Homo-oligomer: A and B are copies of this chain.
């Protein structure tokens, strides 16, 4: 048989990034398109990534003092209309239930696109006095926003998310809480677990959440230089409190409106993970997130090998590593190895009869690449440091990409050119302004966020010296 150049398993990123993304999702069995346009089926391996995101986020959310609760999927249409900007923002995306139990409904109900309105209906009942504040609630749920140009994980008609909703006695408390979530929940998770070097910034008024007075955002640079909004934390001021009468009796005996926040992150993060860390061979999952950090593969099905991979699996699990044993030896070894490569499991430990004789296994590392024999007894001791090294490498690559592909510019035209070439432009907001923002919008380029000169988050829309980060975005 002649040696042939193997056809690539995925469309190379350089050829067609969107197609590479879709190929990877199919081949790594992360998700399928649903039958209703824009919906998705999250397959077990993709859902495993989401479950790990949930665990890590949920711990941070609870650490921030919020408690989980659940509000109904169905919201009376009339609720949406109470906050004017909010309904304007969401009306075009609503799914409406008109029939239930075989009858036409008297009032149609919308499937929640987000829950600020229904949450406030209940906050206004639960909050009576200053003693009931702050009220810190989070919900894990599905939401529906009818999507005209769907793309799996990134923009889907139905997606899974967490949405936090809080009420506070003062403006300052609400502002600080929104900032706390932004930094200590979202940024901490995205940087230290997802390994994505997100930029923390403030949205321009045009890009704000419908009904918010301030939106804080986390923007990640994807492999093609486009931006992805990975999460947002909003100060809602008293907008929803006014619309729903959410008031409390202060220590001074006065009725006061509560100050609120809301904040969300979703299955979109799975898309961000793929586009940040994936390469032409598939996904690369950061070890701290990975549902499977190491897979132990039996190369062939002889009894000694099977016994050894199972024993090794148990030993690594005992060392605190998330391990899967792959003993499906009726499937060719090469196909399974490629499959784990596609799925991006950080470490592959391959054990065959010859390895047993030598007391070694082949250790294949997905993130730096490469393969070398390692003594079986040494594995449990070596892996923790290897996994932390790999974690650091992904974050470093993410940071280097962002730094090398971000340019400082001084005109709107230059900003547009940088964005069109697949990079981010940094331009003084005083130069760009809302007029420049509108001009960029015509070229499908957006202001992702404003950052202060020192890299911190601006405290107002017109903070002196603020820089706009400008890019194409998903």
- Interface of A with B (CB < 8 Å)? 32, 34-36, 39-44, 47-48, 50-51, 67-76, 79, 91-102, 108-109, 111, 118, 121-122, 125, 131, 137, 141-142, 144, 146-148, 157-158, 160, 328, 330-331
Contacts and interface: CB of A to CB of B under 8 A. Distances in A.
Contact of A101 (B40, B146, B330): B146
List the 8 shortest-distance A-B pairs measured between CB atoms, nearest first: A101-B146, A39-B72, A44-B67, A34-B72, A42-B70, A96-B99, A36-B74, A100-B146
Contacts of A72: 34-36, 39-41, 158
A98 B99 contact: yes
Contact of A111 (B111, B121, B141, B331): B111
A36 B109 contact: yes
A143 to B, nearest CB: 10
Contacts of A34: 71-72, 74, 118
13 contacts: A32-B122, A35-B75, A39-B73, A41-B69, A41-B70, A44-B69, A50-B70, A73-B158, A74-B158, A93-B101, A94-B100, A96-B100, A142-B142
Q: How many copies does the complex hold?
A: 2
Nearest to A39: B72
B68 A47 contact: yes
Nearest to A111: B97
Describe A's contact surface by its main secondary structure.
mixed
Given A47-B69, A331-B131, A35 B79 contact: yes
A52 to B, nearest CB: 11
Given A36-B74, A36-B76, A142-B142, A101 B69 contact: no
Contacts of A131: 328, 330-331
Given A39-B74, A68-B47, A73-B39, A92 B102 contact: yes
Contacts of A99: 94-96, 98, 108
Nearest to A139: B47
A147 B91 CA distance: 27
Contacts of A100: 94-96, 146, 157
A71 B48 CA distance: 14
A109 to B, nearest CB: 5
Contacts of A111: 73, 97, 111
A239 to B, nearest CB: 20
Contact of A43 (B36, B48, B51, B69): B69
